[in-house]
Amino acid sequence: MDFSDYIFRCHMVGKIINVPKPLTLNQRNTLDDFSNREKGIGNKLTAKQVITLNELRYKEDQSKIYNLTDGAKRTLSELVYAEKYNRKIEINSPKITKGLEVEKEARDILSRVTGLFLTASEERKTNNWVSGKIDIKPNDVIPDIKSTWSWESFSNILNDKPNGLYLRQGDSYMDLWGKKDFLLCHVLVDTPFKLLEGEIRKYDFKYNILNVEGEVRDLNIDDVKKIVQNHLFSRRALEAFCEHSSIVHIEWFNDFVEIPEQDRVHMIPHSFDKDRILQRNESISLAREYMNKVNPINNFNPHLVA
């Protein structure tokens, strides 16, 4: 199978992009200064400074070379076998399942918070490098929703740098749709009940929080409350879950504080940058070359073990 023209899905490109790191400002200034002094401009270089100059020149050369990380190679090797032999790459997890199940609810929350009427899109576009499908019909901006797993993970997003994989995905969306702006939207949606029950079961398996009758032990009620409040944010959902559950009771939650929808949306703007598209294309070219070389090593030499 020839991967020379392989088209990557937008959500995958961030996993293979590895941009060479340029010299720092101090390194660049030192390189320029020492290069001039080597030419006779300024003080003569010491022996130690000559070594530093050569090291900086080597680093500058390396800063122009693209390469694949070991992680990218593992991803590409898995992809090669999936494509060649019609195998599925399983990525099932409660977090992914939640994102799929609450897609409409997340879009509705974002609509209400922004005041925009956001409608679903099934459109897919493809160019010579990538293929992608956006979730929401764009106007001047392409919004992309990422449904957050829990309150804890949402609060961490508020402090961390934007996820580079998501921004690389946004780069490709803008490239495909010819847009200049992308909006990464983290939305905190109530977790579906079966997934929340799964979290309680996992906690019970680990800490034995249920008694022989299947009820929550008194000592562990606060633990269950924490799990529930980490996944449910509206009073409506809390009451419905307690009615649904045989072991979680509404009277435990007299101190429950509902989180308003405007505090459950975190939006990160990102603009189109042609240089980032060139970086993507360089990495994809390198990835295609690597994929064409992925094969099992089976050149066994019996003399090596004789």
Q: CATH number of the domain that 284 lies in?
A: 3.90.320.10
Q: How far apart are alpha carbons 171 and 92 in whole angstroms?
A: 25
Do residues 17 and 138 share a domain?
no
Tell me whether residue 173 is in a domain: yes
Do residues 13 and 57 share a domain?
yes
The proportion of the chain whose per-residue pLDDT surpasses 70, expressed as a percent, equals 96
Helix orientation angle between 70-84 and 274-291, rounded to the nearest 10 degrees: 60
Q: Is the pLDDT of residue 21 over 90?
A: no
What is the average pLDDT across 208-236?
Answer: 96
Of the residues 65, 87, 109, the one at which a domain ends: 87
Pairing of strands 265-271, 181-188: antiparallel
Tell me whether residue 151 is in a domain: yes
Instruction: Look at residue 301 in the predicted model and tell me its pLDDT.
Output: 61
What is the average pLDDT across 263-288?
Answer: 96
- Model pTM score: 0.84
Instruction: Look at residue 295 in the predicted model and tell me its pLDDT.
Output: 82
Instruction: Look at residue 297 in the predicted model and tell me its pLDDT.
Output: 62
Of the residues 62, 87, 112, the one at which a domain ends: 87
Using only C-alpha atoms, the chain has a radius of gyration, in whole angstroms, of 26
Range from 30-34, 58-62, 265-269 that averages highest in pLDDT: 265-269
- Residue identified by tokens 């633990």 is 223
48-73 confidence digits (pLDDT tens): 999 999 999 988 888 888 999 999 99
Show the DSSP H helices in 164-253 as ranges.
Answer: 164-177, 193-207, 221-229, 235-244
Do residues 213 and 240 share a domain?
yes
Task: Take residue 208 and report the two structure tokens written for it.
Answer: 């034995």
Q: Is the pLDDT of residue 296 over 90?
A: no
Cβ within 8 Å of residue 148, ≥6 positions away: 154, 157, 186, 187, 188, 189
Q: How confident is the model at residue 93 (pLDDT cuts 50, 70, 90)?
A: confident
Q: How confident is the model at residue 134 (pLDDT cuts 50, 70, 90)?
A: very high
Instruction: Look at residue 22 in the predicted model and tell me its pLDDT.
Output: 84
Task: Take residue 126 and report the two structure tokens written for it.
Answer: 């493809």
Per the structure, the complete domain to which residue 62 belongs is given by: 8-87
Tell me whether residue 198 is in a domain: yes
142-184 confidence digits (pLDDT tens): 999 999 999 999 999 987 788 999 999 999 999 999 999 999 9
Do residues 284 and 182 share a domain?
yes
Do residues 82 and 172 share a domain?
no
Instruction: Look at residue 64 in the predicted model and tell me its pLDDT.
Output: 85
Of the residues 63, 87, 111, the one at which a domain ends: 87
